[in-house]
Structure 1
Amino acid sequence: MAPPYSNGNGYGYSSSALPTPSYDYRSNGDFQSICDDIFSSARSMLDRILGYANGRRRHTVWGLAMKGMQQVRRNMTRRRLLSFPHLLVAVWVLVMLWGERWVFASRVRSCDWDHWEDWPAGVTPHRLIFVADPQITDPHSYPGRPWPLNPLTITITDNYMRRSYKQLQKVLRPDTVFFLGDLFDGGREWKTADGNWDDPEWAKGNRPADEQKYVNEWHRKYGQEYWLQEYARFGNIFYDNWNLGGIHPGPGQRGRKLISSLPGNHDLGFGAEVRVAARHRFNAYFGETNRVDVVGNHTFVSVDTVSLSADSSSMRDRVDLEPIYGPAQEFLKGVKATKRRAAEKEVLFWKGAVDDLAFDHKVEDLSSADYSNLPTMDLKDNAPDFPTILLTHVPLFRDPGTPCGLMREHWPPAKPAKGQTAPVIPDHRNAISVSSGYQYQNVLSLEDSTKLIKSIGNVIHAFSGDDHDYCEVVHTQDLESVPEITVKSINMAMGVPTPGFQMVSLYNPIDERGNPLPGSPKTTLQTHLCLLPQQLSTFMTYAVLGVLSVIILIARAFLVPVLNLRPFALDPAQHAASAVLPIFKAKAEGDDSVAAYDVKPTSSNTSSSKFPSARVSAARTRGQSLSNGLGPQARAPSPNSARSKGGSPGKWGWGQNSNSSRGPRIEIRRDAYYDSANRGTGAWRPASSSRSRGGTFGIVGREMWTTSWRVAWMVLLFFTYLTYKG
Structure 2
Amino acid sequence: MAPTYYSTSTRDHFVEPPSLLSRLISALPSGLPAQMHRVFESPTQSTTASRIPRSLRRWERSCLSLHPRRLLSLPHAFIAIWVVLLLWGERWVFRSSVQECKWENWESWPKDATPHHLVFLADPQLIDAHSYPGRPWPLDKFTIMHTDNYMKRSFISLQESLNPDTIFFLGDLFDGGREWKTAHGNTQDPSWANGLRPSGEQAFVETWGKRYGEDYWLHEYDRFGRIFFDFWMKGTSPGPWQRGRKIISTLPGNHDLGFGQQVKIPIRNRFETYFGEGNRVDVIGNHTFVSVDAVSLSAGGDAHGTKELTQPVEDFLANVRSLKRKAVVRELSIQAGQEKVLQHVHKAEDLDQVDFSHLPTLDPGPSGPELPTVLLTHVPLYRQPGTPCGPMREHWPPETPPKGQTTPVFPDHRNAISISRGYQYQNVLSEDDSVNLVSAIGNVKSVFSGDDHDYCEIVHPANKNSAREITVKSMSWAQGVRKPGFLLLSMWNPIDTSGQSLQSTAVTTMESHLCLLPDQISIFLRYLTLIVLTLLTLTIRAILVPLLSLVPFSSPPSSSSSSNTNDYPLLPTTKADLKREEPERRETRSSNSSTSSTSSNNIQNLNLAPRSSAARTRSVSPAKGYGLPASQVRFATPPLINTAGYNPRWDDDAATKKPPIFDFVGNGNGAGRKEAVPLKGVKLIWREAWTSIWRVAWVVICVYLWLAYYG
Fold-level match, TM-score > 0.5?
yes
The C-alpha deviation readout for 1:257-297, integer Å capped at 9, x for no partner, is 00000000000000010111110000000001110111001
User: Which residue of structure 2 lines up, in the alignment, with residue 294 of structure 1?
Assistant: 283
Unaligned regions of 5+ residues in structure 2, if any?
Answer: 1-15, 30-52, 559-568, 572-584, 593-598, 600-613, 661-672
User: Which residue of structure 2 lines up, in the alignment, with residue 471 of structure 1?
Assistant: 456
The C-alpha deviation readout for 1:620-652, integer Å capped at 9, x for no partner, is 6845665676577437999xxxxxxxxxxxxxx
Matched, 1:207 2:170: no
**In 2, Cα distance between equivalents of 1:147 and 1:575:** 52
User: Structure 2 length normalisation: TM-score?
Assistant: 0.79
Q: Specify whether residues 350 and 635 from structure 1 end up closer, same or farther in structure 2 by C-alpha distance, changes over 3 A only.
A: farther
**In 2, Cα distance between equivalents of 1:186 and 1:694:** 59
Return the letter of the residue paired with 1:532: L
SS in 2 for 1:444: coil
Matched, 1:272 2:266: no
Superposition deviation, residue 361 in structure 1? 5.8
Return the letter of the residue paired with 2:415: N
Answer yes or no: is the 8 Å Cα contact 2:70–2:557 preserved in 1: no
User: Which residue of structure 2 lines up, in the alignment, with residue 346 of structure 1?
Assistant: 331
Superposition deviation, residue 570 in structure 1? 1.9
Return the letter of the residue paired with 2:377: T
Alignment of 1:315-714 (within 5 A): 315=303, 319-360=304-345, 373-519=358-504, 522-570=507-555, 595=589, 622=628, 633-634=641-642, 667=653, 673=659, 692-695=678-681, 697-714=682-699
Alignment of 1:135-214 (within 5 A): 135-214=125-204
**In 1, Cα distance between equivalents of 2:217 and 2:699:** 37
Q: Specify whether residues 134 and 668 from structure 1 end up closer, same or farther in structure 2 by C-alpha distance, changes over 3 A only.
A: farther
Q: Specify whether residues 635 and 539 from structure 1 end up closer, same or farther in structure 2 by C-alpha distance, changes over 3 A only.
A: farther
Return the letter of the residue paired with 2:176: G
Q: Specify whether residues 564 and 663 from structure 1 end up closer, same or farther in structure 2 by C-alpha distance, changes over 3 A only.
A: closer
Return the letter of the residue paired with 2:528: A
One of 126, 131, 137 as aligned partner of 2:116: 126
User: Which residue of structure 1 lines up, in the alignment, with residue 248 of structure 2?
Assistant: 259
**In 2, Cα distance between equivalents of 1:139 and 1:671:** 70
Return the letter of the residue paired with 2:296: S
User: Which residue of structure 1 lines up, in the alignment, with residue 300 of structure 2?
Assistant: 311
Answer yes or no: is the 8 Å Cα contact 1:273–1:439 preserved in 2: yes
Answer yes or no: is the 8 Å Cα contact 2:20–2:60 preserved in 1: no
The C-alpha deviation readout for 1:440-459, integer Å capped at 9, x for no partner, is 00000001101110000000
Return the letter of the residue paired with 1:244: K
Unaligned regions of 5+ residues in structure 1, if any?
Answer: 1-21, 38-61, 577-590, 600-609, 611-615, 639-660, 675-685
Answer yes or no: is the 8 Å Cα contact 1:594–1:635 preserved in 2: no
SS in 2 for 1:708: helix
SS in 2 for 1:505: strand
SS in 1 for 2:110: coil
User: Which residue of structure 2 lines up, in the alignment, with residue 46 of structure 1?
Assistant: none
Superposition deviation, residue 558 in structure 1? 3.5
Return the letter of the residue paired with 2:111: A
Q: Specify whether residues 669 and 492 from structure 1 end up closer, same or farther in structure 2 by C-alpha distance, changes over 3 A only.
A: farther
The C-alpha deviation readout for 1:186-221, integer Å capped at 9, x for no partner, is 000001012223210111111111110000011111
Q: CA RMSD in A?
A: 3.9
User: Which residue of structure 2 lines up, in the alignment, with residue 580 of structure 1?
Assistant: none
Return the letter of the residue paired with 2:402: A
Q: Specify whether residues 520 and 454 from structure 1 end up closer, same or farther in structure 2 by C-alpha distance, changes over 3 A only.
A: closer
Superposition deviation, residue 564 in structure 1? 3.3
Return the letter of the residue paired with 2:699: M
Superposition deviation, residue 483 in structure 1? 0.7
User: Which residue of structure 2 lines up, in the alignment, with residue 282 of structure 1?
Assistant: 271
Return the letter of the residue paired with 1:324: L
Q: Specify whether residues 532 and 282 from structure 1 end up closer, same or farther in structure 2 by C-alpha distance, changes over 3 A only.
A: same
Answer yes or no: is the 8 Å Cα contact 1:597–1:632 preserved in 2: no
SS in 1 for 2:458: strand
Return the letter of the residue paired with 1:438: Y
Superposition deviation, residue 374 in structure 1? 3.8
User: Which residue of structure 2 lines up, in the alignment, with residue 249 of structure 1?
Assistant: 238
Superposition deviation, residue 29 in structure 1? 9.6
Superposition deviation, residue 330 in structure 1? 1.0
Q: Specify whether residues 562 and 298 from structure 1 end up closer, same or farther in structure 2 by C-alpha distance, changes over 3 A only.
A: same
Q: Indicate the structure whose relative CO is greater, using CA pairs within 8 Å and at least 6 residues apart.
A: 2
Answer yes or no: is the 8 Å Cα contact 1:592–1:635 preserved in 2: no
**In 2, Cα distance between equivalents of 1:441 and 1:701:** 59
**In 2, Cα distance between equivalents of 1:197 and 1:575:** 76
User: Which residue of structure 2 lines up, in the alignment, with residue 229 of structure 1?
Assistant: 219
SS in 2 for 1:149: helix
Q: Specify whether residues 33 and 358 from structure 1 end up closer, same or farther in structure 2 by C-alpha distance, changes over 3 A only.
A: farther
One of 103, 108, 118 as aligned partner of 1:113: 103
Aligned residues: 614
One of 80, 83, 91 as aligned partner of 1:90: 80
SS in 2 for 1:262: coil
**In 2, Cα distance between equivalents of 1:395 and 1:321:** 23
The C-alpha deviation readout for 1:565-607, integer Å capped at 9, x for no partner, is 321112899999xxxxxxxxxxxxxx999949999xxxxxxxx
SS in 1 for 2:77: helix
**In 2, Cα distance between equivalents of 1:290 and 1:133:** 18
Return the letter of the residue paired with 1:295: I
**In 2, Cα distance between equivalents of 1:555 and 1:268:** 57
Return the letter of the residue paired with 1:414: E
Return the letter of the residue paired with 1:483: R
SS in 2 for 1:294: strand
User: Structure 1 length normalisation: TM-score?
Assistant: 0.77
User: Which residue of structure 1 lines up, in the alignment, with residue 90 of structure 2?
Assistant: 100
User: Which residue of structure 2 lines up, in the alignment, with residue 680 of structure 1?
Assistant: none
Answer yes or no: is the 8 Å Cα contact 1:178–1:260 preserved in 2: yes
**In 2, Cα distance between equivalents of 1:515 and 1:139:** 51
Q: Specify whether residues 706 and 367 from structure 1 end up closer, same or farther in structure 2 by C-alpha distance, changes over 3 A only.
A: closer
**In 1, Cα distance between equivalents of 2:482 and 2:86:** 20
Q: Specify whether residues 301 and 89 from structure 1 end up closer, same or farther in structure 2 by C-alpha distance, changes over 3 A only.
A: same
The C-alpha deviation readout for 1:341-379, integer Å capped at 9, x for no partner, is 001000000011132113456676766666565431100
Q: Specify whether residues 692 and 619 from structure 1 end up closer, same or farther in structure 2 by C-alpha distance, changes over 3 A only.
A: farther
Answer yes or no: is the 8 Å Cα contact 2:185–2:266 preserved in 1: yes
Answer yes or no: is the 8 Å Cα contact 2:483–2:519 preserved in 1: yes
**In 2, Cα distance between equivalents of 1:68 and 1:223:** 54
**In 1, Cα distance between equivalents of 2:441 and 2:19:** 80
Answer yes or no: is the 8 Å Cα contact 2:186–2:266 preserved in 1: no
